[in-house]
């Protein structure tokens, strides 16, 4: 899956997204950003997660994985009508979403635990022990090696052994990852320009991206309901101000 297989996943993601947009265009629902994001999660995101337990942290798939992650974020920006200059940290924080790379890690961690729970004499458990042995003794950069590196970057020590497989505290790793994302979000520089848009809370701009004052309550501008007439919401970041039509 690290080579052509992952390229096929990226191709499938592109087809799923184009199919979703085509149906929205025919139904005249392209102005409903909230609904588009929900359908994106139901149609496109599962395609981007296909078999990610195999390649989600594998070093051999790093380049292809970056391309897929960039494509995923580009599609979300297109739905929200945002420029590519919007930082990923701001994009995900404003929408209250988990980045696709984080979801790959979470799936891989749960896959690890499922292998640990297999009977010691089962084939799957033995394959996990073999992968750990290769990573420890031979220094093979397999998926176990990649998972340990990913955990170390977050400050979590994944214990490897040639004799036993130890479960991972998935929630703790995800909490560490969330803390890292918060630090990246808080480190973004503040733009002093603000605006007041009808039907929206007053926005403070972080690198040309709207951040609501009540972020603690996760009340984001993109999550507000539109009227039934489906009037388009337009964001104009060119001059650092947003024009919101509700």
pLDDT confidence band for 28 (50 / 70 / 90): confident
| Annotated domain spans of the chain | 104-184, 189-246
8 Å CB contact between 105 and 143: no
What would you measure as the largest C-alpha separation in the chain, in angstroms? 64
pLDDT confidence band for 189 (50 / 70 / 90): low
Q: What is the pLDDT of residues 200-241, one digit of tens each?
A: 333 344 434 444 444 444 444 445 554 444 434 433 433 333
User: Which strands sit side by side in the sheet containing 203-205, from one edge to the other?
Assistant: 191-195, 203-205, 210-211
At 51, list the tokens.
């078999």
Does the pLDDT at position 70 exceed 50?
yes
Q: What is the mean pLDDT of the chain?
A: 77
Range with lowest mean pLDDT among 50-54, 128-132, 236-240: 236-240
Q: What separation in angstroms does the CA of 52 have from each of 4, 19, 70, 138, 213?
A: 14, 22, 16, 25, 36
What pLDDT does residue 88 have?
81
111 CB burial (10 A radius; 0-12, 13-18, 19+): middle
**What are the backbone angles phi and psi of residue 194, rounded to the nearest 5°?**
-130, 165
Q: What separation in angstroms does the CA of 206 have from each of 146, 150, 163, 199, 245?
A: 33, 28, 50, 20, 21
Q: Is 210 helix (H, G, I), strand (E, B) or coil?
A: strand
How far is 130 from 127, CA to CA, in rounded Å?
A: 5
Q: What is the pLDDT of residues 145-187, one digit of tens each?
A: 999 999 999 999 999 998 888 999 999 999 999 998 888 777 7
């Amino acid at each position: 899956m690290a080579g052509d297989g992952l390229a096929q996943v990226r191709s499938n993601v592109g087809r799923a997204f184009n199919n979703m947009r085509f149906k929205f265009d025919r139904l005249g629902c392209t102005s409903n950003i909230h609904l588009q994001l929900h359908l994106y999660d139901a149609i496109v995101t599962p395609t981007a997660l296909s078999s990610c337990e195999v390649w989600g942290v594998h070093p051999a798939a790093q380049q292809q994985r970056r391309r897929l992650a960039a494509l995923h974020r580009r599609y979300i920006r297109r739905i929200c009508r945002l420029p590519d200059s919007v930082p990923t940290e701001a994009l995900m924080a404003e929408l209250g979403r988990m980045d696709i790379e984080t979801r790959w890690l979470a799936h891989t961690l749960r896959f690890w635990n499922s292998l640990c729970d297999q009977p010691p004499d089962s084939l799957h458990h033995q394959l996990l022990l073999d992968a750990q042995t290769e990573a420890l003794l031979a220094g093979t950069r397999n998926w176990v090696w990649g998972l340990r590196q990913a955990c170390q970057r977050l400050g979590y020590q994944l214990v490897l052994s040639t004799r036993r497989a130890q479960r991972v505290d998935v929630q703790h790793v995800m909490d560490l990852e969330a803390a890292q994302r918060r630090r990246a979000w808080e480190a973004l520089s503040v733009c002093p320009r603000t605006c007041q848009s009808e039907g929206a809370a007053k926005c403070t701009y972080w690198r040309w991206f709207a951040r609501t004052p009540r972020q603690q309550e996760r009340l984001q501008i993109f999550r507000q309901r539109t009227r039934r007439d489906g009037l388009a919401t337009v964001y104009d970041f060119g001059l650092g101000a947003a024009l919101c039509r509700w």
